[in-house]
Every structure is written in structure tokens, then in C-alpha cells.
Amino acid sequence: MNLSMVTDLYELSMANGYQQALEKEDGVFDVFFRHVPDDGSFVITAGLAQAIQAVSDFHFDEKDLAYLKNLDLFTDNFLNFLKKFKFSGNISAIPEGTPVFPREPLLTISGPLIETQLFETILLNIVNHQSLIATKARRICYAAQGMPIMEFGARRAQGPSAATLGARAAIIGGCASTSNLLAAEKFGLTVAGTMAHSWIEAFPNELSAFEKWAELYPDNSSLLVDTYDVVSSGVPNAIKVFQKLEEKGHKPIGIRIDSGDIAHLSKLARKMLDDAGFSEAKITASNALDETTIQSLLFSQGAPIDNFGVGEELITSASDPVLSGVYKLVAIKKEGKIIPKIKISDSREKVTLPGIKQLYRLYKKGTRQAFADVIALKEERLSKRMLVKSADPLDTKQNINLMDFDLETLQTNIFEKGKIVYSSPTVQQIKKVSQQSLSELPEETKRLKNPNKYPVYITEKLAKLQDELLNDQEY
Ligand SMILES: Nc1ncnc2c1ncn2[C@@H]1O[C@H](COP(=O)(O)OP(=O)(O)OP(=O)(O)O)[C@@H](O)[C@H]1O
Ligand SMILES: O=P(O)(O)OC[C@H]1O[C@H](OP(=O)(O)OP(=O)(O)O)[C@H](O)[C@@H]1O
Ligand SMILES: O=C(O)c1cccnc1
């Protein structure tokens, strides 16, 4: 789908002006964020495949052009440029599923200012949304410590697109499956589901509803046991149906509890199932669950839950529903010369990192244990020992010596001179790589509450450039 008009008016107003005032200049923009939702220590990147699609599909059709002409803001020359729009620049990005930290360039977009400015809104929209949901999913999966999470959020998401792309992001962040058919079909995800209370209510009684379900889906018999009363009706009826299923050679799947005190009810249900000989039947829990409730259920309350269905808290990241990624100009290229740019703010924390940069992940030598990231200027060659500074200007420990490390660059080329040079992995591949990258991070940076801050450094050269621009910038 062409998303070029999902943008803010000012992007076009600026691009129209660039054509007249700065026609020869190329711009270099970085996408990065400063704050991690839920006070976490990192974000899981997601949305690159859709970002690539948005850039390659970017065009203005006759209807859009007629509308824009009617606004009476743009020159014919600019409208003509929009009519023939084709991206001619470069994009590099950190692959989806990677844990990333504040101030790190997730995407770098370079090319004629008039082109690159136009991508700001849509790229941020896509990357902020999916990265937010992948990050929330990672937290929820971390809390569940390996118990599968089914993504159930389509009905609570902010619209159909957020439901479907959110389901994609949820799988990248670690969820096992989604109930959203379109997401599963489109992105090759595992689809899963049980039944709603309407199924039970529609029958004269709970037992006949369970029996019919078991007859229709003998190998998918996850029965919702809380419509009337879990202990006196739901679980005993489920056991009756499981006994019949077993007599016919089918393996009962289990039950789902969707209300009440989940810890208390799951303990009672587990005992009843075990006593009836169904120790392999699984217990699924759902009902406005989030990472805090899941952690409490499993680890503080010892609830014997095997699977979780998670909807609204995941698909909306309800506890902290914004990832404020930004798109900032970091350099201008004119007649082959690169002029680094900086955004100075009242707060030191918000000053941007100027110039074209490269991001490195550092591992303890000979291991896959990541211990720090370093942002350098692209043309720099990193030495085996180096003095670096914290990328966070508010950190008190500012000068650090690094040695005995292996390093990897995190960005990869996506577009070169307007051509795609990258092929997006499948969602399952992204998820696998993401799990691997997560396993390489220090444990203390992954915990949900008060995680240890993972060090992100800038090289001396980059720090010097930032200081120079801070001091010399003409207003
Ligand atoms: N043992 C528990 N510990 C912590 N939170 C729980 C526990 N059991 C349930 N919850 C959570 O408490 C919240 C509210 O549960 P509550 O019992 O009010 O809902 P309910 O009984 O399902 O009501 P409704 O029928 O209106 O949905 C949900 O988010 C649920 O996941
Ligand atoms: O609570 P969430 O984390 O968002 O998970 C999705 C919820 O959606 C369903 O409830 P709903 O009352 O909409 O329908 P139902 O009859 O299937 O329970 C389901 O039973 C979950 O409670
Ligand atoms: O399949 C389910 O159990 C399901 C799907 C969506 C929302 N709630 C539950």
C-alpha cells in the first residue's frame, strides 16, 4: 500500500522549500530514541520490512496531486517532482529483532534533502509502533520465562493495521503465536486460538457446549472453563469431556481460565485435572494480563499455568504506550563536502550526535558476551584499546578505557542509490536472531524492574565533534 500521504503537511512544505532554497544539498537523517518504554533498558527493533516497503512504494498518484495542488501551497515544479518521485538515496539500518539502546542510530537515511525529508513521518510511524510492541512482547515473554504467549490483542488494538502489524511485532518480541488470521497469513506466523464465552452461552448448558466442541475439534480441545463456575462446573465438565476424548484415542489439550483469582483457580484446577489422570492437560490463563501479573502469578504465587493469552496490555503497550523515536538531521552533503549538523537544546540530554556514524557492539574477547556499544564516526577505524565517553551526557563517569574486545557493526545497507540491496528475513528468522542477541546481553540489563543500564559510548572523535559544534554553532 502506498503510504506517501500518511505524513505531516510540514514535510511537504519543507521539501517544496528545499527545492527552491537548498536544491543541491543532500541530507543525512538518523532515527533514534532517548527513552525506553516502561523504564526498560533497551528496545527491540521492528518494522524495517514495512519501512522498506513504504520507501519503495512511495509515490503520489493523480488524486493526491490534485489534492495537493488545491492546497495552493506548492509550486508546479514541486508537484511535478512529486509526480515522478523515486528515492535515489541510501538507507542503512539495524536489522529487526536487535536489542538497541538510547541514542543509537536505528536507521540512517541519506540523499537529496527534498527526498529524505519526505520519509520522516511514515518511517517514524512504522518503526516506533512495531518496536514499541516488540519491546513490550519481550518484557511479557521474559516474565513468562519460556511459557508460550499467545497474542490475543486484535479486538483491543488501535485499529486493524495496529492489530496486524502489532501481531507481527509481538512474534518478533518472542510470542509463540497469534490469534490474528490476517497477521498469520501475511507474515507466516503460527496461528492459535480457543473459544469465546459466547460458544458456551449459546448452548443449553456448559457440558453440551464442551461436548460439541470436542466432537468438532477433537485435537484442539482447549475448553474455556470460567463461564459459570470454574471449580464446581467448568473443570468437572472439562474432565468428563476429556475422559470421552481419551476413550476415542485423542489427547485432551487443556483448559483456559479467563476471570477470577487466576492463581487460586489454576491451583484448584491443576489438582482436579491431576487427580482425574490428566496431568498433561495444560492450563492457559488470560484476562488483561501483563508482565507484572504474569511474573507474580508464576513466581510469587506459584500458579501452575502453562500458557498465557495476552491481548490489550501487549497490543497497545498500555502501561507505556509511546516509543518516541525521532528523525534528526545529522549532516548535510554539498558538492562532495560533509557538513555535520547538531540540534542544540536547553537540556544537555537532548543534544544530538552529529555526523555520519557507525554503531558497534563489543563482546568480551573470544566470547559472545556483549558488554557495551560504541557509536563512532563512520570514517573512524577503531583501535584495540580506546578511550571513550558515555553517550549519555548525564552520566557522571565520563571517560572509560576499553580493551580486550571483539566487535561487530550493527547497521547493514538497505538501499544504495535508491535500489534495495537487502532482503528481509522471515519473521521466524528475525525472532530466532533476536533471541540469540538477547542471550548475548548481560542478565542484569534484561530484568523488568530497575534494569542495569547497558553502557553506550561515543568515541573521543565523535565527542570532540559534538563539543565543537556545541561551542561554534552560529545561531
Ligand atoms: N492471582 C492473581 N494475582 C494477580 N492478579 C490477578 C490474579 N488473578 C487475576 N488477576 C488479574 O486481576 C485483574 C482483574 O481481575 P478480576 O478478578 O477483577 O476480573 P474478572 O473476575 O475477570 O472480572 P470480569 O468478569 O469483569 O473480567 C486481571 O488483570 C487479572 O489478570
Ligand atoms: O484480556 P486481554 O489480555 O485483552 O485478552 C483478550 C481477551 O479477549 C477475550 O475476552 P472477551 O471478553 O473480549 O471475549 P470472550 O468472550 O472470548 O472472553 C479473552 O477471553 C480475553 O479475556
Ligand atoms: O482464541 C482465544 O482464546 C482468544 C482469541 C482472542 C481473544 N481472546 C481469546
- Answer whether 194 contacts ligand 3 (Cβ < 6 A): yes
At 256-304, the pLDDT tens digits run 999 999 999 999 999 999 999 999 999 999 999 999 999 999 999 999 9
CA of 238 to the centre of ligand 3 (A): 18
Q: Is the confidence at residue 309, as pLDDT, over 80?
A: yes
Say what the pTM is.
0.97
pLDDT confidence of 78, banded at 50, 70, 90?
very high
| Cell triple for 401 | 578505557
pLDDT confidence of 458, banded at 50, 70, 90?
very high
With a CB cutoff of 8 Å and minimum separation 6, the contacts of 425 are 95, 96, 433
> Which of 149, 152, 315 has the most ligand 2 atoms within 8 A of CB, as the residue to mutate?
152
- Answer whether 309 contacts ligand 2 (Cβ < 6 A): yes
CA of 304 to the centre of ligand 1 (A): 16
> Which of 257, 287, 307, 312 has the most ligand 2 atoms within 8 A of CB, as the residue to mutate?
287
At 158-187, the pLDDT tens digits run 999 999 999 999 999 999 999 999 999 999
- Answer whether 196 contacts ligand 2 (Cβ < 6 A): yes
Q: Is the confidence at residue 473, as pLDDT, over 90?
A: no
Q: What's the complex ipTM?
A: 0.96
Q: Is the confidence at residue 474, as pLDDT, over 80?
A: no
Separation in Å, CA 281 to CA 115, 230, 270, 294, 321: 57, 16, 9, 20, 35
CB atoms within 10 A of CB 77: 10
Q: Mean of the per-residue pLDDT values for the chain?
A: 97
Give the ligand whose atoms come closest to the C-alpha of residue 294.
1
| Cell triple for 251 | 489427547
Type of residue numbered 183 = A
Separation in Å, CA 428 to CA 69, 152, 171, 187: 44, 18, 8, 9
Please check whether the two domains, 9-133+321-472 and 193-300, share a CATH topology: no
The predicted pLDDT at position 349 comes to 81
CA of 287 to the centre of ligand 2 (A): 6
Instruction: Please name the residue that has the C-alpha cell 529487526.
Output: 96
CATH of 193-300, one of 3.20.10.10, 3.40.50.2000, 3.10.180.10, 3.20.20.70: 3.20.20.70
At 394-435, the pLDDT tens digits run 887 778 999 999 999 999 999 999 999 999 999 999 999 999
The predicted pLDDT at position 175 comes to 98
Q: Is the confidence at residue 97, as pLDDT, over 90?
A: yes
pLDDT confidence of 2, banded at 50, 70, 90?
confident
CA of 261 to the centre of ligand 1 (A): 6
pLDDT confidence of 376, banded at 50, 70, 90?
very high
The predicted pLDDT at position 417 comes to 98
* Average pLDDT of span 91-100: 98
- Beta-bridge partner residues of 114: none
The predicted pLDDT at position 459 comes to 97
The predicted pLDDT at position 350 comes to 86
Q: Which residue has the higher pLDDT, 472 or 317?
A: 317
* Average pLDDT of span 374-386: 95
Instruction: Please name the residue that has the C-alpha cell 543525512.
Output: 28
Considering the segment(s) 9-133+321-472 as one domain, its CATH architecture is: Alpha-Beta Barrel (3.20)
Between CA 244 and CA 203 the distance in angstroms is 19
- Residue ranges of domains in the chain: 9-133+321-472, 193-300
CA of 182 to the centre of ligand 3 (A): 15
CA of 151 to the centre of ligand 3 (A): 8
Residue 259 CA: nearest ligand 2 atom is 22
DSSP string, 337-392: EEEE-----SSGGG----S-EEEEEEEETTS--EEEEEEEETTPPPPSSEEEEESS
- Tell me which residue has its CA closest to atom 7 in ligand 3: 152
